[in-house]
Structure 1
Amino acid sequence: MKITLSILFAILLLSCIDHPLEPPLPPAAVSEVPENWEQAQAGRYQEKSNYIQSHQAAYDWFGNFAFSEVDGIPYIALKLLPKLAPELWGGEENFLDVVGLFIDERQQSYPIARGIGFSGLSRTEAQGNIDYASFTCGACHIGRVRLENGQIDYLDGGVNMTFNIALFRVKLYQTLQTAYAGETSDNKYQLLTQKLLDALDAVQKNNPHYFYNNFQTGNRNFDADYEAAQIALFKQDAVQTIKQFAQRAEAEYEGFGALIAKNYEGLESEMLAGFPGMADATGLSAINGYVSLRKIPVVKWFASVSLPPQPGITDFMSVWEQDKRRTGWDEGHKRLINGGGQWNGNVPMPIYRNLIAMLTLGLEKTDVRVAAFAEELLDGLPASPYPFNVDIVQAKKGQALFAQHCADCHQPKNGKVYDNLGTSMKRAYVVGTLLNYAARKQLYANCAPDTSIQLAGKDVKPCAEFDGISLEGKKDLLMSPNNEHHGYNARPLSGIWAQAPYLHNGTVPTIYHLLIPEERPTSFIKSRLDYDSQYLGFSWNSEQTVNQNEGYLFQVNVIPALSNKGHDKDIVEGEKTYRLNWSGDKQSAFAIIEYLKTL
């Protein structure tokens, strides 16, 4: 990455361009409370099931396909990690449960936890290369909730609140150190290679289906023959392959440490351990640039500047019903308005939002097909319906209150960014001028208007246009200007019951605590699968005894970025007052809660 004074000067000029404000929003329509919740609930489950079946290929790419065919963790090496350091990983059934990736009962023959994909699923030539593994979209965005009968309901497009991406990187680094056994020279990579090959021979001798579980999908069989051929390919160039894999893992760990040191003073040990269900995704993306710059002596001093200037830790988001967040063109087709996706909407177009999430992993030749299929799936993917009972009478009372105080902001295609709610603005300022420029450059390099891919058997150019308008010459629109995303979007609230905990940084456990700010706890349990249907949020009380060992204790207000303040004071806009603090009227707060269950 070359940084010149002329480029930096151009970046500064771009950041100073003024942009007009979003046009005023029309009055919001409000969803009606169904007369029969059980009937409506069953209909919504069926609607979602039908939608996924009709978009099965896109769903499979979203849930199971790796982000690159030529880069990542060698799949065979990944599955051998618990053989190198069994004390760091989980059980035989699922060694990745320690980082919150689970076995999805709907695909029990899949050879590894949900959220891990391998390139053999997408590669045209079955044995054209070794299989590389990476996280998939489903790692963060296929969640779970435990029903009253103890069964698990899967939330496709929701939030996997148990996934701890930071802890995975730390455990990977610790596993390598265990394998090195104190060796610090380049001989450590040979030692690592030999230990992996020894472990490989042992498991292959005992189980010819150890790596792929005889998995079958479509017209591809990952049987014993496929497994034997992959093992032979892996052994051919094992020394170089494993060295590259280990060096990257070490560099990412170093970069993660630099990010923590720069932005998380006072929270270093907690950040190193990671927080399930949340991450500093912007920071993880920037680590890749940091690692690259550290390799260039003349700009090594500049590396820390490439990291975000503020802590950007946030909860994972639900990604269903993206059509309700979809941006659009202004009349002259010069700007994108009236929409935005993630917390502050700084990546307006869906294909690039998906792609930038993939770039977090820093892989070579990121597979644009994953981003394109995700766009196809998520545009109309229905939110998962609330799986418990609803008091219809109360919900109808809440509907009127919601219409009066909430709907104007939380309506579809509201691209307005709010900076007056009292929430921590740290996350909103993570994308500075340099990161904005670097992101646009990287996004364009991966998917330009002339980029062609094979999608469902057809040659397509997924980044050639947006809503019928050519993107040629519109590279600057891949990221919104900095002065347009210093704040947070008020998203539509479809499936809001499953987004708990609340605020962008996940510091408020339930909707009740959001509406009654005086009772917000300074610590609570995150990542339990049980649900609190009274307060509308996942089971949060540390004194509850059900599934006591599930989840982790989360402290708020330990740093400004984890403040649980905000959305707690009434707001006056023009002649209208929007009530946000319902501490003096809990009955109405519970009515709103009941209505939100129906969305």
Structure 2
Amino acid sequence: MKITLSILFAVLLSGCIAHPLEAPLPPAVVSEVPENWEQAQARKYQEKSNYIQSHSVAYDWFGNFAFSEIDGIPYIALKLLPKLAPRLWGSDENFLDAVGLFIDERQQSYPVARGIGFSGLSRAEAQGNIDYASFTCGACHIGRVRLESGQIDYLDGGVNTTFNIALFRVKLYQTLQMAYAGEAGDTKYQLLTQKLLDALDIVHQQNPIYFYNNFQTGDRNFDAGYEAAQIALFKQNAEQTIKQFAQRAEAEYEGFGALIAKNYAGLESEMLAGFPGMADATGLSAINGYISLRKIPIIKGLASVTLPPEPGITDFMSVWEQDKRRASWGESHTRLINGGGQWNGNVPMPIYRNLIAMLTLGLEKTDVRVAAFAEELLDGLPASPYPFNVDIGLAKKGQALFAEHCADCHQPKNGKVYDNLGTSMKRAYVVGTLLNYAAHKQLYANCAPDTTIQLEGKDIKPCAEFDGVSLDGKKDLLMSPNNEHRGYNARPLSGIWAQAPYLHNGTVPTVYHLLVPDERPASFIKSRLDYDSQYLGFVWNAEQAAKPNEGYLFQANAIPALSNKGHDKDIVEGKKTYRLNWSGDKPGAFAIIEYLKTL
């Protein structure tokens, strides 16, 4: 039974460390405003480029490698979806642009959109199995912004604000229903198989490199010979493979419907359409447990207990500079402290934080190597620099205000969880006792202290220790106790310009609206690529110039979980009052905005 999988999801994108501190944090160190922004900006770009180049193998695994070698969507079937239902998918050049995945111009020959990986990249024996596809880390965490020149700047480790994971599942289900043409039982799967095989023969006859585009990487060539061999393997067991894939897609859609019915009453149509750049990651992954229980007749009616008790929809978040959020050991080496920075932070160790995000897809034999390489890459991956101009004089004024009102909370390794900011607490309560327990169990099953993998030709044990301390007997530390993450972290703000929209649920379009809550709009346009450099956020107003049909109308406050309230009243911590509402001092708000551009 895969009930344990339903639990992993619980923690999915929640990520970092949310443990109480053993001692007060030292005074925050505030970054100085550079005297020349163009020089500083160029230096930041170069530092990031150099870092990625020096971690090129880890970057490839982060951006392009599938989460499993033996499970997922059969890659050939994935690329044939637009042949079955062309009106549901996108352009001829990239059918996945319909769900917000894009062609990365930096790797033009890659045979599918950025964010899709296939197992041929990682499998030791080139033709040992058919290729399976899955989303990669880069699906959510390689983003884009459009520069003033019209060129695209890629945000490695940032946020793909256009990716719509929920809509992908819906379109996949709809595609299958169209292919079934009203048939039922095994007949519909036989019909689906025949349609896929017919489409396969047509496209391959027209283009012998249709599926792999003659892609080459490292010592592996995905040329016409590789493609022909993969097609032969696929055909050998096509009916069983396609039936298994289709049944899984149908079950995920059914589970998604159950999640919506339980936690999103009144918002059904919007949830089915998906919110690009957002997901109820815990809910989507919990569907795996729901699917498993539905297969057991005696307890079928109890399957909904595996779904979270509250709606947990959040924005994707940037994952760069994880070293600033890294936990450390307490004196007794029995707990992890002084870390934080992602929503409510209930997974203290990076390897497990990455692994749990992968496990949410519910795949068999999750590839721990992806999690290990992601840890290597993200620990010191620099934030993407702000790509526009900065008023240095105004930024220096903002630096002083930031130091007084913001820096104490938004500093590295602040593990404190804040529950007094007035934000919706729905997301903070999605991980119940059952989910917490199952997450511990499944994480340990996938990566225990004695688990051995091979990275760059060397055998390593990625879960044997953390910061030099053995993890033997420390299984309980894989997840923090629920009572330690009932709230949200105040994470460091490097690259905060690219995290828009703001609050954990993405209900505030710009930093200006975060600081001036009196002007927060009830609705705005999300998922545009053009940028509002005055207010610090992606272009949000329907009247602002932008590409036609880019973005979608987002309604804040539609349900309590999408409340745009919070971070809007001054708070008192100890003997100090921190100003959060700058509605009465807009010049001060704009000064802080200018300073944030330099981080």
Q: Distance in 1 between matches of 2:545 and 2:41?
A: 29
Aligned to 2:111: 111
1:489-538 deviation line (CA, Å, top 9, x unaligned): 00000000000000000000000000000000000000000000000000
Aligned to 2:14: none
The 3-state SS of whatever aligns with 2:185 is coil
1:104-141 deviation line (CA, Å, top 9, x unaligned): 00000000000000000000000000000000000000
Q: Distance in 2 between matches of 1:31 and 1:78?
A: 47
- Say whether 1:126 aligns with 2:122: no
Aligned to 2:195: 195
1:264-318 deviation line (CA, Å, top 9, x unaligned): 0111110111000000001111110111111112322321111100000000000
- Say whether 1:238 aligns with 2:261: no
Aligned to 1:371: 371
Aligned to 2:581: 581
CA contact (8 A) 2:20 2:337 kept: no
In the TM superposition, what is the alpha-carbon distance from 1:473 to its structure 2 partner? 1.1
- Say whether 1:288 aligns with 2:288: yes
Aligned to 2:175: 175
The 3-state SS of whatever aligns with 2:492 is coil
| TM-score after normalising by structure 2 | 0.97
- Say whether 1:553 aligns with 2:553: yes
Q: Distance in 1 between matches of 2:578 and 2:342?
A: 24
1:414-438 deviation line (CA, Å, top 9, x unaligned): 1000000000000000001111011
Aligned to 1:417: 417
1:460-485 deviation line (CA, Å, top 9, x unaligned): 01011111111111111111000000
In the TM superposition, what is the alpha-carbon distance from 1:22 to its structure 2 partner? 4.6
- Superposition CA RMSD, Å: 1.1
The 3-state SS of whatever aligns with 1:505 is coil
CA contact (8 A) 2:293 2:302 kept: yes
Aligned to 1:321: 321
| Total equivalences in the alignment | 585
In the TM superposition, what is the alpha-carbon distance from 1:64 to its structure 2 partner? 0.2
In the TM superposition, what is the alpha-carbon distance from 1:85 to its structure 2 partner? 0.5
1:313-366 deviation line (CA, Å, top 9, x unaligned): 000000000000001111101111111353100111100110111011100000
CA contact (8 A) 1:22 1:416 kept: no
Q: Distance in 2 between matches of 1:448 and 1:341?
A: 25
Match runs of 1:272-311 below 5 Å: 272-311=272-311
The 3-state SS of whatever aligns with 2:47 is helix
Q: Distance in 1 between matches of 2:568 and 2:182?
A: 53
CA 1:584/1:358 → structure 2, altered by over 3 Å: closer, same or farther? same
CA 1:52/1:410 → structure 2, altered by over 3 Å: closer, same or farther? same
The 3-state SS of whatever aligns with 1:550 is coil
Q: Distance in 2 between matches of 1:438 and 1:307?
A: 13
CA 1:66/1:20 → structure 2, altered by over 3 Å: closer, same or farther? closer
Match runs of 1:151-162 below 5 Å: 151-162=151-162
The 3-state SS of whatever aligns with 2:449 is coil
CA contact (8 A) 2:21 2:338 kept: no
Q: Distance in 2 between matches of 1:572 and 1:499?
A: 26
- Say whether 1:251 aligns with 2:251: yes
Aligned to 1:90: 90
Where in structure 1 are there 5+ consecutive unaligned residues? Answer: 5-18
In the TM superposition, what is the alpha-carbon distance from 1:543 to its structure 2 partner? 1.3
Aligned to 2:485: 485
CA 1:560/1:201 → structure 2, altered by over 3 Å: closer, same or farther? same
CA contact (8 A) 2:348 2:480 kept: yes
CA contact (8 A) 2:189 2:243 kept: yes
Q: Distance in 1 between matches of 2:246 and 2:445?
A: 26
In the TM superposition, what is the alpha-carbon distance from 1:26 to its structure 2 partner? 1.3
Q: Distance in 2 between matches of 1:21 and 1:259?
A: 35
Where in structure 2 are there 5+ consecutive unaligned residues? Answer: 5-18
One-letter identity of the residue aligned with 1:269: S
The 3-state SS of whatever aligns with 1:186 is helix
User: Sequence identity of aligned pairs in percent?
Assistant: 89
One-letter identity of the residue aligned with 2:194: Q
Q: Distance in 2 between matches of 1:123 and 1:557?
A: 46
One-letter identity of the residue aligned with 2:529: L
Aligned to 1:71: 71
CA 1:232/1:440 → structure 2, altered by over 3 Å: closer, same or farther? same
1:56-115 deviation line (CA, Å, top 9, x unaligned): 000000000000000000000000000000010011100000000000000000000000
CA contact (8 A) 1:340 1:347 kept: no
CA contact (8 A) 1:22 1:415 kept: no
Match runs of 1:509-524 below 5 Å: 509-524=509-524
Q: Distance in 1 between matches of 2:590 and 2:35?
A: 19
Q: Distance in 1 between matches of 2:529 and 2:44?
A: 21
1:146-175 deviation line (CA, Å, top 9, x unaligned): 000000000000000000000000000000
Q: Distance in 1 between matches of 2:2 and 2:172?
A: 31
Match runs of 1:373-392 below 5 Å: 373-392=373-392
Q: Distance in 2 between matches of 1:510 and 1:569?
A: 17
CA contact (8 A) 2:423 2:566 kept: yes
CA 1:21/1:390 → structure 2, altered by over 3 Å: closer, same or farther? closer
CA contact (8 A) 2:166 2:275 kept: yes
CA contact (8 A) 2:161 2:527 kept: yes
One-letter identity of the residue aligned with 1:456: E
The 3-state SS of whatever aligns with 2:117 is strand
Aligned to 2:357: 357
CA contact (8 A) 1:66 1:134 kept: yes
CA 1:341/1:132 → structure 2, altered by over 3 Å: closer, same or farther? farther
